[in-house]
Amino acid sequence: MYWPKEGTEIYGMIQVRLIKEDILAMYTVRTLSILHSKTKRKKHGFNERLVYQYHYTNWPDHGTPDHPLPILSFVKKSSASNPHDAGPIVVHCSAGVGRTGTYIVLDSMLKQICHKNEVNVYGFLRHIRTQRNFLVQTEEQYIFIHDALLEAITCSESSLSAECLSHLLKTSALPDHSHEHWKKLETHFQALTAFQPKDYNLVSANKPCNQVKNRSQQFIPVECSRVHLTPKPGVDGSDYINASWCLGFKKLREFILTQHPLTSTVFDFWQMVWDHNAQTVVLLSPLTPDSEEYCVFWPAEGETLDGENFKVKLIEESELDGTVSRDLTVQSLQDDCELTVRIIQSPVPEPLSDLPALFQLLSTVQQWHLEYQNGPIIVIDRFGGTEAATFCCLATLTKQLDYENHADICMYAKLYHNRRPGVWQTMDSYLLLYQALEVLSASKGVSLVPSPSPTHLQPNGYNIAVDKS
């Protein structure tokens, strides 16, 4: 590591001080101050420079990122952070060829598309390889560049203009689907939900022994993002639960989206809680105490739920402003390990129909989770579908708004769809994300405006910026 973990370090004649470090899901941004010990002090202070280091942390050596959208966002933001009067951007990876070359080609081609309306990956790569050999190291990285540029162009062409979005939000109660703006939304939505999983993406979910664990075959986890349980030796499918990992703004695995536990999968649910050290559970599905459809999945007061390796006990139940919280402990039967878990229940049976109540629930959950940030937040709705995805997506977007003053709605919505296909069932379910952020901004006394795009290319489709003037 060539920068200090904290405080100040001296490297030869260069003093480097870490001012700030922001750790996000896909990358980390560090603000560093550098000072040459031999240069003369300026008349009004030190000869100090600020360096912004953008460190992408989800890109394997010799490989490629899982999806183009996050790296396109990273390239755009890191490149834009370099002032016009500054020197060149320093790009490196471990060897300075594979991932480094991929970044340089993407940044240059995105700018070429904007300024010349053309792209020449092969010609540009041949040119820069005369300056440094082996840039873009593998065929996989070369293919990824083309996939990423295609994603950028496709998203840009289907993005929603300010006029279009304004019309959609104003007419959402009585939509005219024959209007050009609603047709534009349809095209945008089709691009957003284009990924359709193949059979090999759903191997575990479609096993006969696992199909009975799914409330609906419409909401099942794809293989690359499903949550694994500790398997039982010799029991086929014992590592399966209908649950999917979803990223947040700060962590790659910030959320688990899952269905309301079936009577037959209650112990699987608590095994997931235990295996992944989850201490916050958000319950969005309505309970049906008189039937087994959406049953209570925790023990009554004074009782325990006994599994093979742990037992679950209810400690306390409380209510504040209609929001019910239940504190439980999950205790190991082998040793003294104990996990504190809080289930926070939605105060309304249909959370998406009451946006102020949904944001109040979000605030309650985030305040509690600040104390227990090690594990993921488990979010439950009937099927692990739209309600849970909306909750997680809004939690992520509100954090991004606070940190960056804009929200990449299209990017996160598409990544959520790819990790759990079907969560956006209709255009209205997607448009609700825009409506929700509009409600949130109004409550904070700020307005939402389209993000300016000086290059006229928006790799992440439409995003929203906050106008605090």
Q: Give the residue numbers marked as catalytic.
A: 93
Q: Which residue has the tokens 């037959």?
A: 264
Say how many C-beta atoms besides its own lie within 10 A of residue 437's C-beta. 20
Radius of gyration of the chain (CA): 25
Q: What are phi and psi of 61, to 5 degrees?
A: -60, 135
Instruction: Please give the angle made by the CA atoms of 429, 435 and 441, to the nearest 5 degrees.
Output: 145
Tokens of 435: 């409506």
